[in-house]
Amino acid sequence: MPSVVESLESRSIQTSGGRGSGSRVFHASGYASVSDLFSALGTTVGTETVPQQGDSHPDFPGLVAKDFTIQKESGHTDLWKLTWAYEVISRGFPDYPSQPIPEKLPNEVSYVELSAEIRAEFFLAYRADPDIPALGAPTGEDIMGFPVDQAGNPTSLQRNIQEISVTETVTEPNLDTYRSFRFTRNVVPFFGSPAGTLLYRGASVRRTGVSVYQVTHSFVEDEYMHLQQQPLIEPPDMTPKLTEELVGTAETVFFVQPFDRTSDFNLISVNF
């Protein structure tokens, strides 16, 4: 009859670089193969509950089971050693996680990780506080706002930018899909970015295991929907047409959209 017994003296916790981890060791007998013991993970054998990925540590709920090792004990035919490694996912070892334990842990297939860099950058503009068209699609009308140029020479203004990276773990990257979405803007809200503001720059693919890949998708959010300002040009000098003041400003300013294609970014991956 199969049995599983934990070596209580094997329980340990430690920190490295400010991050906590722990381990537990079990011995199992009555299993003909490693696959049989693997099938017992997450079940109760006799009075012993065998951990599975994502289970909390019995003494420190802030630690969850992440990785395990199964190996046969030397000199035995059906005695196995099962070692579980735990990782902290809350502020302290004794604390329960503030959020439910995730179904997928880092480096597992279908795990998704989000990171962002929020900053500002300068751009050349003829008008401040212009009227932004719906979805960033130019209408051919004057953009309104307040003139900031001098005699048709644009001024540097600040715009808010957010660079977003979404990393997922997959069994097979879909390169054709990534190419087709490249340099399109979101037609629907995506990861909190309003429609039209987010530009998909492409993906970086890295193999991390047998049929396991990490794909990092790169996006840029722009509060002005990536629109560029362009003044009305008049011949023969092909300079901006100015108002009639002593020091005139650009009379008419239009928007130009360098990224006119839109798409639903939720279709880039089944994990989104």
What is 220-265 written as a DSSP string? EEETTTT-EEEEPEETTTTEE-B-SSTT--BS-EEEE-S---EE-G
User: Is the residue at 134 inside a domain?
Assistant: yes
Rounded to whole angstroms, the Cα distance separating 191 from 193 reads: 6
CA gap 93, 223 in Å, rounded: 41
Per the structure, the complete domain to which residue 74 belongs is given by 3-88
Same domain? For 176 and 79 the reply is no
pLDDT for the residue 96: 47
Name the burial class of residue 84, with classes exposed (0-12), middle (13-18) and buried (19+) by CB atoms within 10 angstroms of its CB: buried
Looking at the structure of the chain, the number of domains it has is 2
* One pLDDT digit (tens) per residue for the chain, 272 residues: 899 999 988 898 887 766 778 999 999 999 989 999 999 999 999 999 999 988 988 888 878 899 999 999 988 888 999 999 998 865 555 554 444 545 566 667 888 889 999 999 999 999 999 999 999 999 999 999 999 999 999 999 999 999 999 999 999 999 999 999 999 999 999 999 999 999 999 999 999 888 889 999 999 999 999 999 999 999 988 999 999 887 889 999 999 999 999 999 999 999 98
Answer whether residue 26 is part of any domain: yes
89 phi and psi angles, rounded to 5 deg: -130, 10
Q: Is residue 97 part of a domain?
A: no
Whether 104 is in a domain gets the answer no
- Is there a single domain that holds both residue 210 and residue 262? yes
